[in-house]
């Protein structure tokens, strides 16, 4: 050894004399490690305090931003939710995720393109809500399947059939896919709903509608719900025979249009007069329920995917020591 052992080891001289050279060398390295990291405990406590404080501060800033400038918050949040996992996928070589992400993105971009056209085609709202209904239902099934698999592994039930490590990996994978694409679809459909409604003109987010709604017109798709007496205009045969739904405010909509607006588009108001809508009237099957726990979980996923990495990165820029506690 280059240096003698000090007397801080708590080992008697007789015990030291009986140690082999390998044991003495190991003990010497342990002493050097302790000297090198002496006092780091207090530094770690300080960095942990800064980490907690930064996360709380970030929460307040995010809530303030969301309240004062919701559109910019929504755009940044959705952009981060869409692109940050893609960047991680490229750096981590998650090829399976990148394949699903690419297929979803191509179809989603086409749906968004259709929803942003002016004038809006009468069939577009049904197309948009049908696509996001498929995404939401599929993500819910995949997420629940992953959750069930994880629970079966934790309770040692899955081990009777599958290898526990493989089953846990599959469960986490399914759960992650379901939550991610679920929250991504929910955010995109809200933007598409506002865009389509503003294009049709019977709905205004901040003021009064730009057009008067006639009694036989659906305010979601701008197509006729019935043929008025004496009308000379030929209605669209693909929608005129569709079932209709009467809200308590007496406005009439195609059943598919108003269900898509309320259940998929996350709107609980009439698209024309903005009167509150009782969503229970649409609950005809399990998919129609507002699974509040699942939706809250989706909001948590949005924070973990977008805002937590942003908070960590901001803290590391402000104080370089912040990054050390995040990594270790």
Using one digit for the tens of pLDDT, what is the confidence trace for 210-237? 788 888 888 888 888 877 655 555 556 6
**Does the model's pTM come out above 0.75?**
no
Average pLDDT, the chain: 76
Residue ranges covered by each domain of the chain: 69-229+236-314
Query: Considering the chain, what percentage of its residues have pLDDT values greater than 90?
Result: 9
Q: Residue 97: pLDDT band by 50, 70, 90 thresholds?
A: very high
pLDDT in tens, 180-201: 888 888 888 888 888 888 888 8
* Buried-state track 107-129, b at ≥16 Cβ within 10 A, e below 16: ebeebbebbeeeebebebbbebb
pLDDT at 168 exceeding the cut of 80: yes
Whether 243 shows a pLDDT value over 70: the answer reads: yes
For the ranges 77-81, 111-115, 143-147, 282-286, which has the lowest average pLDDT?
282-286
Q: Which two tokens stand for residue 252?
A: 């009439």
147 vs 320, higher pLDDT: 147
Query: Given this model, what pLDDT does residue 268 score?
Result: 84
Higher pLDDT, 179 or 43: 179
pLDDT for 299 beyond 70: no
Span 268-272, average pLDDT: 88
């Amino acid at each position: 050894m280059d240096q003698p052992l000090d007397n801080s080891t708590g080992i008697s001289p007789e015990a030291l004399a009986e140690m082999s050279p390998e044991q003495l060398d190991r003990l010497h390295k342990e002493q050097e490690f302790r000297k090198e990291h002496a006092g780091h405990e207090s530094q770690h406590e300080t960095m942990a305090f800064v980490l907690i404080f930064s996360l709380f501060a970030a929460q307040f800033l995010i809530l303030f931003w969301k309240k004062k400038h919701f559109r910019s918050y929504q755009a940044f949040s959705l952009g981060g939710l869409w692109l940050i996992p893609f960047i991680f996928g490229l750096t981590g070589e998650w090829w399976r995720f990148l394949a699903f992400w690419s297929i979803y993105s191509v179809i989603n971009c086409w749906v968004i393109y259709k929803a942003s056209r002016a004038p809006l085609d009468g069939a577009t709202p049904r197309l948009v809500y049908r696509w996001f209904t498929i995404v939401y239902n599929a993500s819910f099934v995949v997420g629940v399947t992953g959750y069930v698999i994880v629970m079966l592994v934790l309770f040692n039930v899955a081990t009777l059939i599958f290898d526990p490590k493989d089953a846990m990996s599959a469960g986490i994978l399914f759960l992650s896919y379901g939550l991610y694409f679920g929250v991504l679809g929910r955010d995109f459909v809200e933007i598409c709903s506002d865009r389509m409604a503003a294009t049709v003109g019977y709905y205004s987010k901040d003021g009064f509608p730009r057009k008067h709604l006639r009694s036989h017109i659906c305010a979601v798709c701008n197509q006729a719900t019935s043929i008025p007496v004496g009308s000379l205009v030929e209605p669209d045969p693909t929608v005129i025979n569709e079932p209709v739904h009467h809200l308590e405010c007496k406005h009439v909509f195609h059943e598919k249009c108003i269900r898509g607006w309320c259940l998929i588009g996350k709107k609980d108001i009439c698209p024309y007069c903005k009167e509150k809508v009782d969503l229970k009237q649409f609950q005809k099957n399990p998919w129609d329920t507002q699974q509040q726990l699942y939706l809250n979980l989706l909001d948590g996923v949005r924070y973990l995917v977008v805002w937590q990495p942003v908070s960590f990165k901001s803290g590391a820029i402000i104080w370089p020591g912040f990054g050390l506690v995040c990594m270790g």
